[in-house]
Structure formats: C-alpha cells, structure tokens
Amino acid sequence: MNLVANAPSADGVWRQLRLLPGALDDGSPIDGEVALVVVQGLIRWIGPAADLPAAYRTFAQHDGGDSLVGPGLVDCHTHLVYGGQRANEFAMRLAGASYEEVAKGGGGIVSSVRATREADEDTLFALAAPRLQALLAEGVCAIEIKSGYGLALEHERKQLRVARRLGEAFGVTVRTTFLGAHALPPEYAGRSQDYIDLVCKEMLPALAAEGLVDAVDVFCERIGFSLAETEQVFQAAKALGLPVKLHAEQLSDLGGSELAARFGALSCDHIEHLSAEGIAAMKDSGTVAVLLPGAYYTLRDTNLPPIAALRAAGIPMAVSTDHNPGTSPALSLLLMANMACTLFRLTVPEALAGITRHAATALGLQGTHGALAVGRPANFVLWTVREAAELAYWFGNAPVHTVVRQGKVFPTI
C-alpha cells in the first residue's frame, strides 16, 4: 500500500484562505485573505493575498474555499501498533474492576503483549493502518509511535519497523519511541532487574543501531518500573545520545518527573499526580507536559493534572490521544482537544497549541512542524470553520477541507 505515490503535489499558490490565529511560527496575525505558496514541497511564501509577489501569479492555483489554514496536527504520544484489542477489559472496568486490578489479573498491557507477539509484521501493519488513517484524515501530519507491546527484542523490533513502514506508506512524519520498559514480560516475573538489564544492554543498543529508535520512554509506576529502574534506562539512552521522555505520575507520584527533567526529557506524559517539586523541575528543564485526557476519561480518573500550576509556571502543555488498546482507544486528536478543554479546563488557544506547536516540541520537531513558516515542509490543514474555537467545540466530525502532508494533497471533501 502506498498512498503517497498517487497523491497530487501541493505545489502552487493556495488562495481563498484565512489564517488560524497562532498558526504562524512567530504568532503574528494576518487580517483578511491569506495566500500560501508551496514550491517543491516546502512553504515558500505566506502572507496577505494582496501582497502576493507577482512572480507567483502564474503558478498552479489551489482554491482554499475560504477555509481557515493552520499547521498540520501533531499527535505526540501513541501506542498505535499492537495486536488484538481489549474491549473485554472495558466491560470489566464498567463492572467495577480498577485498571490495576485488571493488570494484576493477567489482563492489561500483558494481554496486548501476547497478541502482539503472535502477529507478524504485515499483520501489525494492516491493523495499525486504518487507525493511522483515521488520525490523518483529521489533519495529523506528525505522529509518535511507541513500541512496548513486544517486550522482547524481536517483537519490539517488529513494532518499530511497522512504525517506520507506516511513515513511508502514508507520507507522514513518524517519530519512533522505544518503550521496552512498559511492563514486565511474564517470563521475567519476579526478575525485574534482569529485564531492565536486557532492555539497557541488549534491546536498546541493538534497536538503536538499526536506526529504529528516535527516543526512549519508560512506564514509571507502581505497576510499571521504579524510579531507580527508570534511571537505568535513561542512562542507557543517554549513553547512546537518545532523548528520553516518561510516562510519569499517572496513577501515583513516584517523582518520575524530577528524574526526567534532570535528564532534559522531551516530555513528561499523563502527570495526573504531578507534585509542586515535579513542576519546578520541569520548568527549569524545558520539558513539555503532555496531557492525555483520553486515558483520564477511559479510566474515569478523578485526579486532574495540575493545569493551573503548569500554566502559572509557563510549562508548555501538549495534548495527545495516547492511542492504546487499554486505556485510550481514541482515534481523534480533535476530540482530545475538546476533552482537554471540557475536562481539564484548557482554553481553546491552549488546546490548539497543545495539538500543534507544543506537541511538535514534545517530539523535538519544533523546527519543522507545529506552526507555519517559510522554509518548512508543507504540512497544513484547511479547516471548514468560521472560527478557531470550532476546532475544539465540535466533536464526532472533522471539519476538514484538505490536508497537505509532506507537500502532497489529501482532499477530504
């Protein structure tokens, strides 16, 4: 499957556009009609249509239909590649079982590990492709995809290879994250340290050498790995020159955020139980706070992440799907923006920055994604809305006119 080969080039002049507030890299507004020029897949010019240089007037013309133009969306935390699904656990939790109880009873992450190990690479690709397509149809132009359902070298490799293949087949920027320390595989029961040694000394170096790892993550949690184990994985990542990020303070406060900040982490994700010390550490390190309202909602969590304190500290907040079969079977980043506003009380501009600009920073992609600027790859979305707030207001439909991804046009209406 290769959708990219058939997609038309976006080169030319895009007109009949209005600018989504905050869309430009420098945050400046443009009143009235906007024009945007794409040359060889890169944004060459953007500004008031009235100021379009004469040289571009003979280029191919694209009618934007009076859409609002903004940067491509960025989904900065997903577990998109896995076998099976876990609707049975959804039913168990509805009947009263907690996430931790389900995990301790042999369900949870480990049940997805079984299904992922059984699936070959082509099967995993075929399962993940429609999930990715749902996100892309809504305007996602860059996505992070984690491993973590293989928990053995060959199976983690399989997941990461599928992630890379998805990026090529769909013409979307994929950042891979090695999450070998997601859960203890059953064959290592009671031997957590041995497994961490395997992760640090064998799995990570091998996969990094194969070019499959853009960043390294750990599930630092009572039902995951301890702070000391997390630090070992971070040391191994650092030795290989790889950036780290962390599933931190989701179900309890283990102090993972302080550790992550010390390692200059790209992001701390979940953070429902983040402490004042964690916030102070993140503030100093430039680490992005990644909010995952889909998991909060699915687990019917009641501990809100400390939004007001994050805001007061000036910590950038990203919003992501956390797509995974256990706690967030979500395939709409716009719905997550809506939930970040409704459940977490983000403002609309915060939620929109959370699925663009700050999400890009959480992936180290702030130079190329998350905002519109001359010289960047053409990744942008034409939205069929009158005003920006509609992007976080509607849910259940994607008001998309056209997605331009990596300089190719993917019309949706």
Residues at the interface with ligand DI6 (CB under 6 A): 108-109, 112, 182, 219, 247, 250, 295, 322, 324-327
- Name the token pair of 187: 């064959």
Q: Site size for Fe ion, by CB under 5 A?
A: 1
Give yes or no for residue 272 binding Fe ion (CB under 5 A).
no
300 burial level (CB within 10 Å; 0-12, 13-18, 19+): exposed
By CB under 5 A, name the one of 281, 322, 326, 379 that touches Fe ion.
322
Question: Where do we find the tokens 């931790």?
Answer: 100
Which does residue 109 bind out of Fe ion, ligand DI6, none, counting CB within 5 to 8 angstroms by kind? ligand DI6
Q: Which of 180, 179, 253 is nearest to 221 (CA)?
A: 253
Helix, strand, or coil here: 48?
Answer: strand
Residue among 277, 352, 350, 339 nearest 314 (CA): 350
> CB-wise, 325 or 370, nearer to ligand DI6?
325
Cβ neighbour number for residue 123 with a 10 Å cutoff: 15
Q: How far is the CB of 109 from ligand DI6 (least distance, A)?
A: 4
Which does residue 219 bind out of Fe ion, ligand DI6, none, counting CB within 5 to 8 angstroms by kind? ligand DI6
| Least distance to ligand DI6, CB of residue 219, Å | 4
Give the range of 12-20, 310-318, 322-330, 400-408 binding Fe ion by CB under 5 A. Answer: 322-330
Contact partner, 327, from Fe ion, ligand DI6, none, Cβ < 5-8 Å per class: ligand DI6
- CB-nearer residue toward ligand DI6: 19 or 244: 244
Nearer to ligand DI6 by Cβ, of 323 and 408: the residue is 323
CB of 279 to ligand DI6, least distance (A): 20
Nearer to ligand DI6, 245 or 357 (CB): 245
Q: Which of 232, 327, 204, 218 is nearest to 268 (CA)?
A: 218
Q: Which residue is nearest to ligand DI6 (CB)?
A: 326
Instruction: Render the burial of 170-185: b for 16+ CB within 10 Å, e for the rest.
Output: bbbbbbbbbbbbbbbb
Give the residue from 315, 240, 305 showing the smallest Cα distance to 273. 305
Interface residues with Fe ion (CB under 5 A) are 322
